[in-house]
Amino acid sequence: MNHRMRYLAAGVLSLLFLGLIYSWSNFSSAIGQEFGWDRESMRLVFTLSIITFCFGGFFGAKLNERLSFRATLLVAAALLAGGFAGTAAAVDAGGLPVLYGGYGILCGTGCGIAYNTIIAMVNAWFPDRVGFSSGALMMGFGIGGLVLGTAAAACIEVTGWRVVFMGLALLVALVLLATTVIVKPRTKEEDAVAADGVRRREAPSMARSPLFWVYCLWATCAICAGLMIIGDAKSSGLAVGLEAGFATLLVGLVSTTNGAARIVIGMLYDRRGLVAVMATATLAALAGAAALAGSFAPGIRFPGLFVAGALLVGFSYGCVPVIASAFARGLFGEDGYAGNLALANFNMASAAVLSSLAAGFARGLGGAENGDFAVYAAVVAIVVLALGGFAAFVRLLRFNHRPC
């Protein structure tokens, strides 16, 4: 195995552990039942973790400019270990604020720092196959909920969630420490010249480009369906009539489609370009959101339709991080890529806020009987806005004569 494939393998393993952030639905059921906290309080923890994940990515990019790659990852490891262990140790005394601070803020921030740092560092070794490398790395992040989240859920049944959180604190710290030993940044000479011998081009500032802001509109709306189901898959599955065991499995299956989408969409990007992968993500999100709403039709429940919708929105959600990476690097160059990637991923934060507000408002309108239907109907409306954002993005992209 050559050195860059070794770095890629180490990156995938690290992101597999970081992907545990997508297992919140399994964790929240056990914690919420023990303390009697409602679904919206539990959803807020996930929303907060996604918001701080985005800020962590931006902070990680800045931190990596001042510190070494290894030092930045060690900061992330400390935050993640402190978040998991601190939550387990102090939640009995501190209640929800400890859960919000430990899992929501510390774990979310540490995860964002490590995610951005690893992807930027490993992708730098693959200038000729950025879609493949991004897809492979993000596949690891996406399937973490299946591979490790399902195992963690099984362990919770035996040992309780506190022991599992303590174990995760140790494991995540060790994995990130190993990554600092295995992965090496490119030298200045290697960084200046791409693998094919073509020097990197300079590109305009992403934040000053109208194209970026139209992309933000699209990504924010397209991500909402995925965040809604990832944060509440098990509880919604139980509400639609799924058996408890299958509802737990569904959390892992959503992670599977989330992870599979990342490698599939990465390879599709290498072959067909940005517009094709954005269209794929948008249509999958719309079909999935419509199926989720239909599964909670007033007076009727369709568990099979719910499962199909959850898998579709899981796939759609998995597409967007790869698209963000391709968008940041493909249209705005390698210089400043880590910072641009963090900016592109901020759409997860705006989507988390939007989906949380929409869920709370819609559930209030739908009431106890039709609350879930109202929530997913609101998500359908949001994804329809993504279609408009996609059309505007394509028009602006072609008007500026950028590659599509």
Q: Decide if 142 is inside a domain.
A: yes
CATH no. for residue 231?
Answer: 1.20.1250.20
More confident residue, 76 or 272: 76
Lowest mean pLDDT among 44-58, 185-199, 264-278: 185-199
Q: Where are the alpha helices (DSSP H) in 67-207?
A: 69-94, 96-99, 108-123, 130-147, 149-159, 161-182, 188-192
Taking a C-beta distance cutoff of 8 angstroms, is the pair 382, 358 a contact? Answer: yes
Whether residue 239 is predicted with pLDDT greater than 50 in this model: the reply is yes
Determine the pLDDT at residue 195.
43
Q: Decide if 403 is inside a domain.
A: no
Please name the amino acid found at residue 154: A
Taking a C-beta distance cutoff of 8 angstroms, is the pair 282, 317 a contact? Answer: no
Tokens of 273: 């370009």
Alpha-carbon gap, residue 306 to 247, rounded angstroms: 11
Average pLDDT along the chain: 85
Task: Point out which residues pair with 199 in neighbouring strands.
Answer: 193
Determine the pLDDT at residue 348.
84
Half-sphere exposure of 195 (CA within 13 A, CB side): 10
**Residues 306-328: pLDDT tens digits?**
999 999 999 998 888 888 888 88
Whether residue 135 is predicted with pLDDT greater than 60 in this model: the reply is yes
**Phi then psi for 193, rounded to 5 degrees?**
-125, 125
Q: Decide if 133 is inside a domain.
A: yes
Model confidence at 194, in pLDDT bands (50, 70, 90)? very low
Whether residue 197 is predicted with pLDDT greater than 60 in this model: the reply is no
Whether residue 104 is predicted with pLDDT greater than 60 in this model: the reply is yes
**Residues 338-366: pLDDT tens digits?**
788 888 888 888 888 888 888 888 888 88
pTM, whole model, 2 decimals? 0.74
Highest mean pLDDT, choosing among 154-158, 202-206, 263-267, 330-334:
154-158
Q: Decide if 194 is inside a domain.
A: no
Model confidence at 272, in pLDDT bands (50, 70, 90)? confident
Determine the pLDDT at residue 389.
93
Alpha-carbon gap, residue 17 to 23, rounded angstroms: 11
Counting every residue, how long is the chain? Answer: 404
Tokens of 69: 């790659």
Closest CA to 83 of 58, 101, 95, 57: 101
More confident residue, 196 or 166: 166
Task: For residue 46, give its domain range.
Answer: 3-184+203-397
Half-sphere exposure of 305 (CA within 13 A, CB side): 16
Count of domains forming the chain: 1
- Residue 128: C-alpha distances to residues 98, 263, 303, 324 (Å): 45, 16, 44, 17
What letter does residue 334 receive in the DSSP assignment? S
What letter does residue 187 receive in the DSSP assignment? P
